[in-house]
Amino acid sequence: MLLAPALALAEPAYQTRTLSNGLTVLVAEDLTSPLVTVEIGVRNGAMTESPEFNGLSHLYEHMFFKANAVLPNQEAYLARARELGLVWNGTTSTERVNYFFTTARERLPEALVFMRDAIVSPLFDPAELERERVVVTGELDRNESNPQYHFFHQVNEHVWWKYPSRKDPLGTRAAVLAATVEKMRTIQHRYYVPNNSILVVTGGVRAEDVFSRVEPIFAVWKPSARPPLEEFPLVTHPALRRP
């Protein structure tokens, strides 16, 4: 009984494995949980964005939850998510974009396939892109109505003076309004490859069971010839020009 609080706070044990296509898989077991979370993280975000692309990693995040080669429109995507009982979300930061689905652990095989289809074969339907462009510029509106945002943004403009777009995940209105399907494909082909990503599975699962399932499911996801951050190197931020 004395040990119970410490055990409850202990982090679950985890194991990692790299698939043949370069995808890193991390599994954290918690066999007391009736749930499982499937998450993919991609090395993308503001650090990869020139001014022309500033904010498009975030827009891509929004487009992730849309049509793909298996689900022809967002309505079909949402219907399938409801069938699986999913809770889902995604976030964009300076150095990564991530997506996750949480569901009952019995639905793990289907959740893995659902994630695979979304990450491998997005359609970027122009009508859906236009709708999400409005949503993302609405986020810009909300931030620009907050004085703290302007203070934070101006500090970043001075600190990262040569490449400020590389530290601004929210991006610029001009870049978001100029987004095209072709630019979404550029992000996909450069960064959304298995050798630039990690698959994390947590909850009421056995690591060996997960590893045995993910290899055949994600084998269709083809790696890039070179690691993306080698082929498209990140900038080096220079020192401040003055105090």
Q: Average per-residue pLDDT in the chain? A: 95
For residue 71, pLDDT beyond 80? yes
For residue 185, pLDDT beyond 70? yes
> CA-CA distance, 212 to 219, in Å (whole number)?
12
pLDDT, mean of residues 50-67: 98
Query: How confident is the model at residue 24, as a pLDDT?
Result: 98
Query: How confident is the model at residue 243, as a pLDDT?
Result: 81
Q: Alpha helices, DSSP H only, in the chain?
A: 4-9, 56-64, 74-83, 108-120, 126-144, 147-159, 173-177, 181-191, 207-218, 228-231
Quick: pLDDT tens for 11-22: 668 999 999 999
The answer to whether 115 and 40 are in contact (CB under 8 A) is yes
Query: How confident is the model at residue 7, as a pLDDT?
Result: 57
pLDDT, mean of residues 83-89: 97
Look up the pTM and report it: 0.93
Quick: pLDDT tens for 197-242: 999 999 999 999 999 999 999 999 999 999 999 999 999 999 998 8
Q: What angle do CA 240, 242, 243 make, to 5 degrees?
A: 95
Q: How far is CA 41 from CA 57, 115, 134, 168, 199, in A?
A: 13, 12, 25, 18, 7
Quick: pLDDT tens for 132-164: 999 999 999 999 999 999 999 999 999 999 999
Query: How confident is the model at residue 12, as a pLDDT?
Result: 66
With bands split at pLDDT 50, 70 and 90, how would you rate the model's confidence at 52? Answer: very high
Q: Alpha helices, DSSP H only, in 69-146?
A: 74-83, 108-120, 126-144
For residue 8, pLDDT beyond 60? no
pLDDT, mean of residues 88-112: 98
Query: How confident is the model at residue 187, as a pLDDT?
Result: 98
The CATH code belonging to domain 24-43+52-98+109-231 is: 3.30.830.10
Query: How confident is the model at residue 231, as a pLDDT?
Result: 97
pLDDT, mean of residues 187-203: 98
Whose tokens are 């689900």? That residue is 71
Which residues is 90 bridged to in the sheet?
A: 99
Query: How confident is the model at residue 6, as a pLDDT?
Result: 60
